[in-house]
Chain A
């Protein structure tokens, strides 16, 4: 079946602009995660959605970052007033449930802020 998809695959934006990144999880997966991977670094947790529960936003680096998940499926990560340090690959993952735990990753969106 279809895996996790993300769009766009690449995004170049000017400093100060807002960007929206989209994630389509695997159908039926109730949990959705956003991570950030800077060049040569590990994955940094940003935010987590599980069903209708309030999201865990504890990993968001600043109030310029926000995310929403509509209808329990598609999620968008929004970065306002982008800064050069926001340049990274943004990865989305989904999993069946807390019990399932295996997280399936999307291909990522490479964001470059010039």
Chain B
């Protein structure tokens, strides 16, 4: 099955700086890559996703890049704010439905 690895496991950034989280996947057939944000005690919520026919997608301060050849994708958060502090999960799915998640990155934005 699909195996998704996520790095780093924790990330501390100064407010206003950028944060980057990287994920790799194992199955070249995977074609859908969502990112979820989970605040403490709350449910995961989709923040951005990318499909394999696109190399980059941006939505305000967040962007995701995908390198199919290398089988990795990354989340970029610019101008970080305290409310960006959360656990972020990457995931991958193979043309259907079942998401394989990374282990998560705990992001802390220092004021």
* Residues on A facing B (Cβ under 8 Å): 31, 33, 35, 40-45, 48, 50, 56, 58-59, 91, 95, 98, 101-108
Contact = CB atoms under 8 A, between A and B. Distances in A.
B43 A59 contact: no
Nearest to A105: B43
B59 interface: no
B25 to A, nearest CB: 13
Nearest to B49: A102
Interface in B57-109: 89, 91, 93, 96-104
30 contacts: A33-B99, A35-B101, A42-B6, A42-B102, A42-B104, A43-B44, A43-B91, A45-B98, A45-B100, A48-B97, A48-B98, A50-B97, A58-B98, A91-B44, A95-B97, A98-B96, A98-B97, A101-B32, A101-B34, A101-B49, A101-B93, A102-B34, A102-B49, A103-B46, A105-B36, A105-B45, A106-B43, A107-B42, A107-B43, A108-B43
B77 to A, nearest CB: 19
B89 A43 contact: yes
A80 to B, nearest CB: 24
Interface residues of B, number: 22
Interface string B25-57: 000000010101000001111100100000000
A31 B99 contact: no
B69 to A, nearest CB: 23
Given A91-B43, A106-B43, A42 B34 contact: no
Interface in B4-21: 6
Given A106-B43, A107-B43, A42 B101 contact: yes
Contacts of A58: 98
B103 A42 contact: yes
